[in-house]
Structure formats: C-alpha cells, structure tokens
A = this chain, B = another copy of it.
C-alpha cells in the first residue's frame, strides 16, 4: 500500500457504475499508472465492496468513502474501521456531504482511525465547520461546498474566499492538518488554482470518473502540480 504525500490527488469513486466492481479495478490501474509516471501522489476511494480487490490490484493508497461509528459486535449492515483496514484501506473519508454524520460520531471515528493508525479525511462544507472539525485532529480536511459538487465549477474560481477563509480559521486551531480542496475540479488549471490558494491537494470525483479519458485528466492534474 502506497504512502501518502502531498500534494495529493484523491479520487472519490462514489457509487458511479463507471467505478464499480471490475471497472473500479480498471480505473484504479489508470490512477496507478498516472501516479507512477508523474510521481504525483494519487489515492482513490472505491465503494466498500471494491476496497479489497482494488487494494490487491494496485499500489496507490486506497481509502474508504465512509466507516460506521460502531464497534465490533451486533451491528448488522454496518462496516467497521477495522474491516476497511483489513480489506486494504489506509484511511477513510469522513462526513462527506453525501454521507453526513452526527458530530459525536465524527469525533468517535477520528479517534478510532487514530487507534488503528489510519488516515482520517474529514469533509466540511463551510469554513466554520472546517474549523470545528480541525479541533478533532484529523490528518486531513477536505473543503467541499456541496452546491458546487458535480458542477464542473471549481470552488477556487466560484468562491475562492471559502478556501482562504477555511485555511485561516483552521490554522487558528490546528497547524498540522492537511487541507484539500474539493468540488467542481475538472482541469489542471483548477488544481493549480487550488494549490495557489494554499491547499495541499484536491478531492475529485466526477471530474475524473466521468471523464472521457480519466488517465489524460490525471496527467493534466499531475502536470499542474509539478509546475506549481
């Protein structure tokens, strides 16, 4: 399993059929190829059901999209942090805007991922919420205004102040957390803009998964990072 470095390109497979099952493995291989060729760190987050086969197939870091705030035991239909780790994930997204959690559950999951030495990436919608979760000491925070997700309009263009305000508020509470920029990223220019604003990577989904040529998009992202 690959190590995490920044700048990071983290690709969220969501529940796209283009990134489910065998196609998740195929897309993961393209991500691995782009990462190896450009020496830019790229991670990916497939559905729970695909973590094992994807992690078996590729050397890039694999994340879960979510883990449940439950402990081992009688919790039918839930998935443990231990389970995603044993399947090959090195970390997990937490509180994505499409899978939001109660605050005490976010805190419990971050604690659990720390105990298991996993990488926690908390998603937040606004600067104040980013600051709030920064106090929980996750490894990473991904700022994603939900209204921009899937639009192709990057937050760095539409609302750059959301990114800069986030960084300012988060740094009041937490000097070390890695800040990623998400929502609406589709081009190398979007990635470059995210880095210029002070973030250390991007969280991207449809911009890669639904692209005609995902490999080519990733190469563009990597070139923007290398030039930055």
Residues of A within 8 A of B (CB): 12, 14-17, 20-22, 45, 47-53, 65-66, 68, 70-80, 82-84, 86-87, 93, 95-107, 124-126, 128-129, 131-133, 135-137, 149-150, 169, 172-173, 205-206
Contacts and interface: CB of A to CB of B under 8 A. Distances in A.
Given A52-B53, A173-B172, A75 B98 contact: yes
B77 A65 contact: yes
Contacts of A173: 131, 135, 172-173
A197 to B, nearest CB: 21
Given A47-B83, A49-B87, A128 B132 contact: no
A131 B135 contact: yes
Contacts of A86: 20-22, 49
A65 B95 CA distance: 22
B107 A129 contact: yes
Given A15-B72, A128-B137, 10 more contacts: A14-B75, A17-B82, A20-B72, A47-B78, A49-B86, A76-B96, A103-B103, A103-B129, A107-B129, A135-B169
A136 B130 CA distance: 10
Contact of A136 (B70, B95, B101, B132): B132
A137 to B, nearest CB: 8
B76 A12 contact: yes
Given A74-B149, A98-B77, A136-B132, A15 B103 contact: no
Contact of A104 (B87, B126, B135): B126
Contacts of A96: 76-77
